[in-house]
Amino acid sequence: MDSQPEASLADLGFWNSMLHSRTFWVPRDHGLLFFTFALALAAFASMLILPRLSARRRHIASVHADTSGSTTMMDFVLVTPLFVFFMFLVFQFAILAKNHIFTHYAAYMAARSARVYLCPTIPISVGSFVDATMFNIKVCDNSIANQKAETAARIALIPAAPYKELHCRSGCQPPQSLLKNVTEATRVSSRWGAIQRQAIYMFDTDNVKVKIALAPIATYSTLKRTPALPVVALVQVRFLLLDYAGWIFATGQRKDGNYYTLSTAEVTLL
């Protein structure tokens, strides 16, 4: 039995028969063949390029997200310090307003005390003059009026004093018995240390200045025999500022480096 030789892979006839068989289809027109080949290349290129484009799109999206986050963080970094500083200024303004109210209250208390102890220029009655000169019975005393007014003003200012311990230069002797009675009556004995430091600050002669005098209408009131004399009280207080606001609102600076501002109030009791 004769055996036929096997077809070689390099045989052109073999490939011609294979390409023109029903299994493979190749257009016989050269234009159509070129178009088919170009379409195949385009499909193959799209298979390779599209995943890369999708990855690039995701990368760009992530970059945009990072940029948006960076912009938000930059806004936060720029705005937050200004906002915090503004809130601290509002807080300092509130403290200054509170301190000024205490200054007015201290001037009122000084005027009340001075009204009790100051003597009229002309005795109100003959009886009071005789009692004062012959029997040494005084219903008023000019020698202690200023001291009593200062004590009343300083006691009224104690709640507005700083809590921290500061160096006291002179006159740092608050009435201990009175402070203890007040703390016991108000049930704040547990804060005795802070209250004592506040009292020492307000009883420092450099921190509080008190001036009292009879009002210009006092002589007329005496002639009208008015039992209560018109009194004028002037109080000036040094209030410490917060550390960050010292260079903005400061009137002066203490030797220990703390900044302060002056609060002045004048009250006239008719």
What confidence score (pLDDT) does residue 31 get? 54
Confidence at 233, pLDDT banded by 50, 70, 90 = very high
State the burial class of residue 228 (Cβ atoms within 10 Å of its Cβ: 0-12, 13-18, 19+): exposed
Rounded (10°) CA dihedral 41, 46, 52, 57: 150
* Average pLDDT of the segment spanning 179-199: 88
What confidence score (pLDDT) does residue 83 get? 85
Rounded (10°) CA dihedral 176, 180, 181, 183: 140
- Quote the CA–CA distance of 115 and 213 in Å, as a whole number: 9
Judge whether residue 64 has pLDDT over 80. no
Confidence at 213, pLDDT banded by 50, 70, 90 = confident
More confident residue, 160 or 75: 160
Judge whether residue 146 has pLDDT over 60. yes
More confident residue, 225 or 198: 198
User: What is the edge-to-edge ordering of all strands in the sheet holding 208-214?
Assistant: 208-214, 231-240, 259-269, 252-253
3-class DSSP state for residue 260?
strand
What confidence score (pLDDT) does residue 4 get? 47
Place of tokens 């809590």: 163
Instruction: Enter the pTM of the model.
Output: 0.66
Confidence at 69, pLDDT banded by 50, 70, 90 = low
